[in-house]
Amino acid sequence: MKQFKRRIFTGERALFNQNGVTLSECTFEDGESPLKEGKNISADSCAFRWKYPLWYCDGVRVTNSTLFDTARAGIWYTKNISMRDCIVEAPKTFRRCANLTLENVTIPDAQETLWSCSDVTMTNVTARGDYLAMNGKRFVVKDCTILSNYCFDGAEDITIENCKLLAKDAFWNSKNVTVKNSYISGEYLGWNAQNLTLENCTIESLQGLCYIKGLRLVNCRLINTTLAFEYSEVDADISGGVGSVKNPSSGRIVADSFGEIIMEEDKVNTSLTTIEVRGKGREKSA
């Protein structure tokens, strides 16, 4: 195992194709792809200041380190990687990575980050930037704060728990997403999704939860949510009231109250949907 401590590396491919490297308090200055095609790499308290530091790697552990904003597209095509207690300033990090663990990681510029990655675990991650986790597969996300319009677009097999999402158009075109005990705020939530389940969540959305096949809400609160469920197959048990419901395609919606119900017979088969005020039975449509 090669060990480097307090070294400054420059130049393209400074440590190319290494197998078994331990780095401590090292800095990677100008020079692309310094650790490309490396295996079994451990980096602690390191600074990555240039592009493409960890491409096509296998078996990487990074702790207490920083990818600066100049380390763009820093980690692509890498598998079996963990990052803990790190700051990732660079956009477009993590592309087509597999078996990725992020814990206590801050990503202030998460534009186009985590695209087409698979088998990802995120714990206590804060990420700000649009199109996070596009086309991702098999994510487990816990105790995270995500500020990302269009996040999880096209993603599949996603579990999210105890998170805050400020996200316009979250979960579009997704499949098999479950969100538990979380807060979600954003317009047009979940359009064109399949098998979207929300449990014990607080949701704020304009014209959200539409065009969904297999939408399930369990004990969710809909705050300032209007024109919901249009053309969706829905099974919803809502705690509190709903601002307005418009043209669900089928299913059952139960809530404590409804501000407005719009059911247009020329748009949907209204007999396929039951809308009920809890304890009072079926509600009439407008």
Domains of the chain by residue range: 1-68+80-91, 110-186, 191-286
Rounded (5°) CA angle 179-185-188: 90
Res 1: pLDDT? 82
In a 10 Å sphere around its CB, with 0-12 CB exposed, 13-18 middle and 19+ buried, how is residue 262 labelled?
A: middle
- Over its C-alpha atoms, the chain yields an Rg (Å, rounded) of 23
1-68+80-91 CATH choice from 2.60.120.620, 3.30.1360.10, 2.160.20.80, 3.40.50.280: 2.160.20.80
* Entry pTM: 0.94
Instruction: Give the separation between CA 207 and CA 151, rounded to whole angstroms.
Output: 17
Res 286: pLDDT? 46
Instruction: Give 77's DSSP letter.
Output: S
- Structural element, H or E, at residue 108: none
In CATH terms, the fold of domain 110-186 is Pectate Lyase C-like (2.160.20)
Task: Indicate the pairing of strand 183-185 with strand 54-55.
Answer: unpaired
Tokens of 90: 């660079």
Instruction: Give the separation between CA 35 and CA 57, rounded to whole angstroms.
Output: 8
Nearest to 248 by CA among 217, 219, 270: 270
| Parts of the chain with a pLDDT under 70 | 281-286
Res 280: pLDDT? 76
Domain 1-68+80-91 and domain 110-186, same fold? Reply is: yes
CB atoms within 10 A of CB 268: 17
Instruction: Give the separation between CA 203 and CA 183, rounded to whole angstroms.
Output: 6
